[in-house]
Amino acid sequence: MAQYTRISGSVGLITLKNPPVNALSAVVRQGIVDSVERALGEPEVKCLVICGQSGKFCGGADIREFGKKMTGPPLIPVFHAIEAAAKPVVAAIEGIALGGGLELALGCHYRIAHSKAKLGLPEVTLGLLPAAAGSQRLPRLIGVPAALDLITTGRHVTAAEALQLGIVDQVTDHNTVDAAVKFALSVAGQSLDARRISTFPCPRLSNLDAVFEAAMQKVRQAARGAIAPVACVQAVRAAATLPYAQGLEREKELMATLFTSGQARALQYSFFAQRAVGRWSMPSGARWDTSKPKPIRKAAVIGLGTMGRGITVGLAQAGLSVVAVETQEKQLMEAKQAVSGMLERGAKKRGVSPPLGNISYSSNIKTVGDVDLVIEAVFEDMALKKEVFQQLSAVCRPGTFLCTNTSGLDIDDLASQTPNPELVVGMHFFAPAHVMKLLEVVYGPRSSPQAVATAMQLGKVIGKVSVAVGNCQGFVGNRMLSPYLSQANFLLEEGATPEFVDQVLEEFGFAMGAFRMSDLSGLDVGWRVRKAAGLVVPGKPARMRQGCRYSPLGDLLCEQGRFGQKTGSGWYQYDKPGSRVAKPDPWLHSFLEEYRARHGLVARRIDHQEVLERCLYSLINEGFRILEEGIAAGPEDIDVIYVLGYSWPRHRGGPMFYADMVGLTRVLERLEFYHQAHPDVPSLQPCNLLRKLVASGTPPIHRWREVIKKVHSQL
Ligand SMILES: CCCCCCCCCCCCC[C@H](O)CC(=O)SCCNC(=O)CCNC(=O)[C@H](O)C(C)(C)COP(=O)(O)OP(=O)(O)OC[C@H]1O[C@@H](n2cnc3c(N)ncnc32)[C@H](O)[C@@H]1OP(=O)(O)O
């Protein structure tokens, strides 16, 4: 709702009340209309102030209303009524003014912001554009280049930057509503002619075409197929070239295309999924709301390789005390220098001082005796990790949580090295660990709910989106990647090239295709895992292992020392070791031809559809298996992991959302087709849960949990 009160006798105060972010629901919109009408009708009222309850101005349109039938007054006329008012209306911006919230403020005659407030038009991140006249008013207020930046990136700006850009008129460190009331009284009675943004001409640009061409090129490059950023540029162009009323029409047309698009649905699903993963649950019934985390003030990181350094930086930046341990003195000194550099660069970017003092470095593992939680980040080798866990069990005080940063090793096996396996959880960070948003929190069968809650909470403190998953080979992300990469390899055996497979995957929206990504991560990483699993038999390039089809192509490249970017060759060739520019490699093409000839394989023409379906549907099928086994609690967990950790295009929601969009019946049919053609590839055999979902009438994704529950109750 919107509450109307009178203060200081002559100020009408409208307070938006819709927790948690005062979104502009139908009731709130109606409340604003009624309150404005009332204030304008009261002769004693000289001016109006609009604010939000609980220190938050407004988080924008109510996203939960988007999929439903539209009720209540539309936003544009509401904002026009405010702008047209004969009494000054001042927005008192505390906390946030985002999307429709900022558009509401732009409809007001003046804007006063608290110094800690954040403002922005993030609609593009939801697959939309600022369609309550934001795309038309903002360029008129701050000029085209700045408006293009804000609208196409959706970035939030601080109050200080908003003042500098001219979005707000005043910034205060004190009570914002008081400041706004005082300000409103000071301007009451003055002409408002120069305060109505919709009447402003858009500031002229001599190089208008060049500015828009550059903006379009930039968004097309960054967007990887997303349509909203392109529409945002087109809407701002309308503001720059058309009268306001026509610009609004164009804004509306563009919004209509976006609003009903699958991309907007995917991005809005992704927004809620990212929040839903915080409400985790375990098959035991333990849940986020019944498991209390322990506060972590001091943590230790063991092993200061690339991952350990990133984790140390993340912890220190979040204000924790960190004991950073590396047993080799030389490596310890190198790590200290590297970590300090990362902290200094990060602090410079944020305009704060680097938290160097939060870290103490040690070569002695015994120095971790007084920490609340340890993150072991030594080399991915079970024997080594077990040794470290035994040492930690001896030196840590009782109750210390022991976490391992591993991308796939058995958490329970490690937990068995300690007398308190309930305190052990996996924390799978993604490289670079201080940058990547994703954290897989892996619980073993003996991990306590409190240990999981503590790791999830710690993830939040250090700015990660944490997803709780069960213990299995590769956890969720890497387990699903395995059939995807296998298919990519099989496609090479059958006639495709790495360039073609990557091109198809990149056109789909991945930042990198399977082969460019493997070259970046290092082919030796997978080689080591396959060796540990007994799949690599030197000198035996046969294409079957353990009764299933196997492609030894990756192993053969590793045997030649081709580990990817770091060695200057892998699936592609590079100018020099470490170079990032991948070039097709004639050597690899002849190697593939010889390989096919040796194995009696005849290359055939493979099309886009086959590449996409085999790579993506085998990955999705594994996702359904993961849900069936209860390794992930719901499809949102898998989708968040893929969007944040594996560069799955956000505008496609994630693999499980994509399956829902394609249609489960279609996914099932195509998997059956490919499995018939490749019966020796078990990952192409549709899993039971997928069959059950189709059999139960292909419910939409938000109802899959009901079917999953039924499957579990039958086990
Ligand atoms: C036939 C076709 C016709 C087409 C024409 C259609 C015309 C329609 C006209 C519509 C015009 C709309 C114009 C407008 O420009 C559109 C918008 O305003 S879109 C919304 C823009 N706003 C945002 O993107 C903000 C999103 N929110 C956030 O970024 C963050 O939530 C926050 C506000 C910064 C707060 O962050 P935190 O403090 O970390 O808290 P959480 O993120 O966990 O959020 C808490 C809680 O609130 C829920 N929530 C947040 N924002 C909204 C919202 N705008 N609407 C609804 N709910 C919101 C969030 O989901 C959390 O709840 P939970 O999911 O955990 O239950």
Q: What is the widest separation between alpha-carbon atoms in the chain?
A: 93
Domain 610-714 has CATH 3.40.50.300: no
User: Is ligand 1 within 6 A of the CB of residue 628?
Assistant: no
Q: What are the sequence ranges of the domains in the chain?
A: 2-255, 298-475, 496-598, 610-714
pLDDT value for 567? 96
CA of 268 to the centre of ligand 1 (A): 9
Same fold, 2-255 and 610-714: no
Ligand 1, closest atom to CA 129? 15
Which is it for the CA torsion 659, 660, 661, 666, positive or negative? positive
HSE-up of residue 552 (Cα within 13 Å, Cβ side): 21
Distance CA 322, CA 272 (A): 33
Catalytic residues: 103, 123
User: How many residues are given for the chain?
Assistant: 715
For ligand 1, atom 1, the nearest C-alpha belongs to 256
CA of 58 to the centre of ligand 1 (A): 9
Tokens representing 457 are: 């909470």
Mutate to test the pocket of ligand 1, among 21, 155, 261, 268 (most ligand atoms within 8 A of CB): 21
pLDDT digits (tens, 9 = 90+) for 611-662: 999 999 999 999 999 999 999 999 999 999 999 999 999 999 999 999 999 9
Secondary structure (DSSP) of 191-220: --GGG-GGGSPPPP-TTHHHHHHHHHHHHH
Task: Say whether the peptide bond before residue 432 is cis (omega within 30 degrees of 0).
Answer: yes
Distance CA 589, CA 595 (A): 10
Rounded to the nearest 5°, which phi and psi values hold at 270? -60, -40
User: Is ligand 1 within 6 A of the CB of residue 76?
Assistant: no
pLDDT < 70: residue spans in the chain: 539-541, 714-715
Distance CA 271, CA 258 (A): 16
Whether the CB-CB separation of 75 and 115 falls below 8 Å is answered with no
Whether the CB-CB separation of 90 and 184 falls below 8 Å is answered with yes
pLDDT value for 715? 60
This model of the complex carries an ipTM of: 0.98
User: Is ligand 1 within 6 A of the CB of residue 132?
Assistant: yes
CA of 128 to the centre of ligand 1 (A): 12
User: Is ligand 1 within 6 A of the CB of residue 58?
Assistant: no
Report pTM: 0.95
Distance CA 2, CA 53 (A): 9
pLDDT value for 547? 85
Distance CA 155, CA 122 (A): 6
pLDDT digits (tens, 9 = 90+) for 54-86: 999 999 999 999 989 989 999 999 999 999 999
pLDDT value for 540? 60
CA of 149 to the centre of ligand 1 (A): 20
pLDDT value for 709? 87
pLDDT value for 539? 67
**CATH fold label, 496-598:** N-(1-d-carboxylethyl)-l-norvaline Dehydrogenase; domain 2 (1.10.1040)
For ligand 1, atom 30, the nearest C-alpha belongs to 59
pLDDT value for 710? 82
Question: What architecture is the 2-255 domain classified under in CATH?
Answer: Alpha-Beta Complex (3.90)
CATH number attached to the domain at 298-475: 3.40.50.720
Which is it for the CA torsion 561, 566, 567, 572, positive or negative? positive
